[in-house]
Amino acid sequence: MGGQRLEDRAAYLERVARDVRLNIVRMIYEAQSGHPGGALSAADIVTALYFDIMNVDPSNPHWADRDRFVLSKGHACPVWYTCLAMRGFFPTKELSTLRKFESILQGHPDMKKTPGVDMTTGSLGQGLSCGVGMALEGKMLRKDYRVYVMLGDGEINEGQVWEAAATAAKFKLRNLCAIVDKNNLQMDGYTHEVLPMDPIDGKFAAFNWHVLSIDGHNMQEVLAAFEQAREVRDKPVCIIAETVKGKGVSYMEDVRAWHGKVPDHNQYERAIREIQGV
Amino acid sequence: MVMRKAKKATRKAFAERMKEYGAHDPSFVVFEADIGYSTYSYLFGDEYPDRYFNMGIAEANMVGAAAGMAAGGRTVIACGYGVFLSMRALETVRTFICYPNLNVKFLSSHGGVTAAIDGVTHQATEDIGMVTTLPNMSVVAPADENAARAMVEVAVNTPGPVFVRAMRDPLYNIYDADETFETGGSKIVRDGADITIVSYGDILFEALEAAEELRRMGISAEVIDMYSIKPFDKATLLGSLEKTGALLVAENHQKRNGLGYELAAFCLTNKPVPFDHLGLQDTFAESGNYYKVLDKYGLSHNHIVAAAGSVVKKKQAEVAFA
């Protein structure tokens, strides 16, 4: 993708992200269970990673030199599963088995069951620690791969996130890039009401991270941030992405209840129409 | 089995062997949580600075990072105190290491009240219950220096997570340098005919001392070192019970969810025999001299002698009524 203009890459990714969003809603409706809000807020960023930024080989999911992705906010896994399937890690027809008995697509990510899932997650606040370990391995072996960890802005309530942040800075893990999907909602309400963590950028900066702040739904900004992050020499990078929970489905946007709720039939059809833009 | 006074704690013996083994096996790394001069992991760090990572006083993050490193196939030995590894970091160990069955090994020091002098905060008296409950986790507890040394290779070469319970202070040595150990193994360290006493770690020495006293009382006790707590050696236990028909488990741990509970459940199903169990009785211990603490909380050899005597009496009574 490197030779193409940023505008063209972004336009392509916006089309892919539309299909990603369609699949997220379809999967959750089919499963009658799951977390649409946080999957939709993360959709543009995860799409950019898998369809432009990350160096992966779907035919060899365990390729030692691949870039890694850890979805620390594991409940948003429909977005990850969709991107992996659309990228060719496994057939898209598997998406209809989300959360079902004996599926390769568990309710939260399972690295032993799903091709392309680099780390088991789902218990919040711990994925950044795993990312630190992966990045430390890459640094020790002098490999070029990069590690991307997506965090929710709710799960950074967990103290372990900040243990990991300090550790990443200690080891100068420039191959580690955290993305905070800052949709401003967590399960019980707005993040500033449940447990205020702002300023998040100031906190990561104080932990000696290089911090970038972007609009997480602006594909050009997303791409530019990941490219800038690659250039940082001696620090881990945190991208604070302002997003909207439920992005793309009007009645879900910025509504707390859509953290873990399934649309009924009418809502489902409306969601599909809205995402398709018809 | 001759008990020789030890000069070296099992934590140190493990760490020394870890350093030596690092030369044979370049594939593993060591994580430490800022107690490297207590677990003696610094010995490895001095020798292999590129394979040694001090993660600070942050055990949950340490084991999470260990999981991340192990996710690519690396073996990580994470060092710390049992209280913190098995409890503070427990959920990370469960979900990120045991669930994906990654090769993270734990050097867990200060098991039981062997850290008596440090007080309750540093006495891991619930660790066995915590970690044996986790699927995929193997758990071993070496009693002496040579056993502790052997556990390095046992841990590294057993697939999946392995928890090695070590002790703070030197006690006794019973094994020779060429003795072999494996997960699922055990050692009959004293033959007997009237009762089987199962123990591990430091209480093994109390059991051996008790067996000698029992001999003077006319009771022949067989003593098994169940150094592999999970999986445990069912065949050896059954063989011993076939002979003795009575079981006493003594351990430096809460009775609840310790090895004794596991063996009691096993025996009820497979080989019901008169049984008793010594351990902490739903209580915390306290600071003080190790032997005084053992005695106060019912873990010393005189308690084992009394309990063994009662179990043997019960067996004889049952035989008489049968």
Please tell me the total number of residues recorded for chain B in this structure: 322
- With an 8 Å Cβ cutoff, is B84 touching chain A? no
Give me the interface pTM, i.e. the ipTM. 0.93
Which residues are registered as beta bridge partners of B77?
A: B30, B105
The amino acid sitting at B157 is N
pLDDT digits (tens, 9 = 90+) for B161-204: 999 999 999 999 999 999 999 999 999 999 999 999 999 999 99
Indicate the number of domains in chain A: 1
Shortest distance, CA B170 to any CA of chain A (angstroms) = 34
Residue B58, chain A, CB below 8 Å: the answer is: yes
Q: How far is B91 from chain A (nearest CA, A)?
A: 9
Gap between the Cα atoms of B78 and B228, Å rounded: 19
Question: pLDDT tens digits for chain A (278 residues)?
Answer: 556 999 999 999 999 999 999 999 999 999 999 999 999 999 999 999 999 999 999 999 999 999 999 999 999 999 999 999 999 999 999 999 999 999 999 999 999 999 999 999 999 999 999 999 999 999 999 999 999 999 999 999 999 999 999 999 999 999 999 999 999 999 999 999 999 999 999 999 999 999 999 999 999 999 999 999 999 999 999 999 999 999 999 999 999 999 999 999 999 999 999 999 98
Q: Looking at beta carbons, which residues of chain B come within 8 Å of A171?
A: 53
The tokens for A2 are: 């490197």
Q: How many residues are given for chain A?
A: 278
Q: What secondary structure letter does DSSP report for B111?
A: B
Closest CB to A163: pick one of B53, B60, B100.
B60
- Note down the domain range covering A36: 6-276
CA-based nearest residue to A81, from A53, A100, A55: A100
The C-alpha atoms of residue B169 and residue B162 are separated, in whole angstroms, by 22
Q: A166: which chain B residues are within 8 Å (Cβ-Cβ)?
A: 56, 58
Residues of A in contact with B100 (CB under 8 A): 110-112, 119-120
Per-residue tokens: A115: 């091709």
- Dmax over Cα atoms in chain A, in whole Å? 53
- Distance between CA atoms of residues A88 and A115, nearest Å: 10
B95: contact with A, CB 8 A cutoff: yes
Q: Are strands A237-242 and A176-182 parallel, antiparallel or unpaired?
A: parallel
Helix (H) or strand (E) holding B17: helix B10-24
Give the C-alpha separation, B82 to B163, whole Å.
Answer: 9
Query: Could you tell me the end-to-end alpha-carbon distance of chain A, in angstroms, rounded to an integer?
Result: 30
Q: Which helix (H) or strand (E) holds A205?
A: helix A200-206
Check if A164 contacts B (Cβ < 8 Å): yes
Domain-embedded: residue A1: no
> Does residue A91 form part of some domain?
yes
Instruction: Show the low-confidence residues of chain B (pLDDT under 70).
Output: 322
Contact B60 A126 (CB under 8 A): yes
Q: Which residues pair with B107 in a beta bridge?
A: B79, B164
For residue A136, the chain B residues in CB contact (below 8 A) are: 53, 65, 68-69
Q: How far is CA A222 from the centre of its chain?
A: 12
Please state, in angstroms and as integers, the Cα–Cα distance from residue B59 to each residue in A95, A140, B87, B198, following that order.
37, 21, 10, 32
How many C-beta atoms lie closer than 10 Å to residue A142's C-beta? 6
* CA–CA dist A40, A107 (Å, integer): 16
Does residue B61 sit at the A interface (CB-CB below 8 Å)?
Answer: yes
Single pTM value for the model: 0.95
CATH number, domain at A172? 3.40.50.970
pLDDT for B321 equals 75
Six-digit token string for A4: 């193409």
- Domains of chain B, each with CATH number or no CATH: 8-173 (3.40.50.970), 187-321 (3.40.50.920)
What are the φ and ψ backbone dihedral angles of B172, each rounded to 5 degrees? Answer: -135, 160
* Pairwise CB contact (< 8 Å): B61 & A140: no
A33, A34, A35, A36: CA torsion to nearest 10? -70
Q: Is the peptide bond before A199 cis (omega within 30 degrees of 0)?
A: yes
**What are phi and psi for residue B51, nearest 5 degrees?**
-115, 20
Q: Is B92 on the interface with A (CB under 8 A)?
A: yes
A contacts of B68 (beta carbons < 8 Å):
70, 119, 129-137
Inside any domain, residue A127? yes
